[in-house]
């Protein structure tokens, strides 16, 4: 497309007036928390819209085998999410994938959620935008994602029974992941570029395990393998030596990035997450936070579903109170 044509399209889109649509509930994010909220809100005969910037399901959609979700001996992330989405849509919710949310006005009455195509006016916003794990900063990461490189030990650890596993990271989450993966690993390496920053009790537990070797002051420089990961190229910062380490799988745990930038002007954030209690209420009446985006200690599929349930049921109660002129928050 020519530069002139691009300019004309931009000018045309600027002149277009976006259609305004009212919804009782707008849910931002179509992971487990968002879809569960949609299911419950839909069953209350509320008009419900779920907006998802990327693919429905988020991170969990890539999980190859989930064995800790009640009701399933084993299920893929994609199958589980598709089932919950179908339930939500059967209840009347509309799921709009890839209509990017551009801005929100959470303190307005009604609240405003603007996407690339529409302006939605809504009584309630449920924020379930989740988080993204920091990716391994190597160009080969995309080649080996789910082919030896993983980000969820609970989802994929069982695939490496009696295999050689490496864990990248030095914080609590990484060391907890390493301790968890020792139940599967024949040999487990913990690789970190500096010193471990996890709780001492967790570190000591790891150090006592004879399967474990901890490589500090070590960086992963490259990934190798034909079709799947078979080795890592490691750089020892102290000696300046590079060597190749054969592994079957690498679990990366170098932090997460909550998807909350869109809400920073309206809501306070704690380490990037939204403060909200077990009732999922935020500081703004009619705005709820559910799932990994909420500041809390435990983040699992089951707790995300619980948050979605709570947020939806209390959203329904809030709407009843609002329409009756007796809002309590």
**Catalytic residue status for 307:** no
Q: For 122-135, what is the HEC assignment?
A: EEEEEECCCEEECC
Name the strand (E) or helix (H) holding 243.
Answer: strand 241-246
Short-list 77, 99, 91, CA closest to 32: 77
**Catalytic residue, candidates 24, 79, 123, 152:** 152
**Catalytic residue status for 156:** yes
**Catalytic residue, candidates 156, 176, 248, 307:** 156
Q: Length of the chain, please? A: 329
**Catalytic residue status for 155:** yes
Q: What is the DSSP secondary structure assignment for residue 98, as one 8-state letter?
A: S
Helices (H), the chain: 3-15, 32-43, 77-90, 141-144, 153-156, 172-181, 200-208, 301-323
Q: Which two tokens stand for residue 93?
A: 């919710």
**Catalytic residue, candidates 24, 79, 123, 155:** 155
Nearest 5°: CA angle at 187, between 181 and 193? 75
The catalytic residues are 152, 155-156
């Amino acid at each position: 497309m020519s530069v002139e044509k691009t300019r004309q399209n931009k000018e045309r889109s600027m002149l277009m007036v976006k259609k305004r649509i009212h919804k009782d509930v707008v849910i931002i994010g179509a992971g487990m928390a968002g879809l569960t909220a949609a299911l419950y809100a839909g069953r209350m005969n509320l008009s419900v819209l779920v907006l998802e910037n990327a693919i429905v399901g988020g991170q969990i959609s890539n999980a190859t085998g989930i064995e800790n979700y009640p009701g399933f001996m084993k299920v893929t992330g994609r199958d589980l999410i598709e089932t919950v989405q179908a339930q939500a849509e059967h209840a009347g919710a509309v799921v709009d994938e890839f209509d990017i949310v551009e801005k929100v006005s959470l303190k307005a009455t009604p609240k405003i959620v603007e996407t690339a195509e529409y302006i939605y006016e809504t009584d309630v916003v449920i924020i379930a935008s989740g988080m993204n794990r920091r990716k391994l900063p190597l160009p080969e990461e995309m080649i080996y994602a789910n082919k030896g490189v993983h980000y969820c030990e609970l989802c994929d650890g069982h695939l490496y029974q009696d295999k050689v596993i490496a864990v990248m990271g030095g914080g609590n989450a990484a060391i907890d992941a390493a301790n968890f993966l020792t139940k599967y690993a024949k040999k487990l390496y913990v690789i970190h570029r500096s010193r471990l920053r996890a709780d001492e009790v967790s570190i000591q537990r790891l150090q006592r395990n004879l399967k474990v070797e901890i490589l500090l002051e070590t960086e992963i420089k490259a990934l190798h393998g034909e079709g799947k990961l078979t080795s890592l190229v490691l750089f020892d910062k102290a000696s300046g030596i590079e060597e190749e380490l054969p592994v079957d799988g690498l679990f990366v745990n170098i932090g997460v990035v909550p998807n909350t930038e869109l809400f920073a002007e309206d809501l306070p954030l704690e380490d990037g997450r939204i403060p909200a209690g077990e009732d999922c209420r935020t500081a703004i009446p009619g705005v709820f936070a559910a799932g990994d985006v909420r500041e809390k200690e435990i983040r699992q599929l089951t707790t995300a579903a619980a948050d979605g349930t709570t947020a939806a049921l209390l959203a329904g109660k809030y709407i009843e109170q609002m329409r009756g002129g007796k809002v309590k928050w």
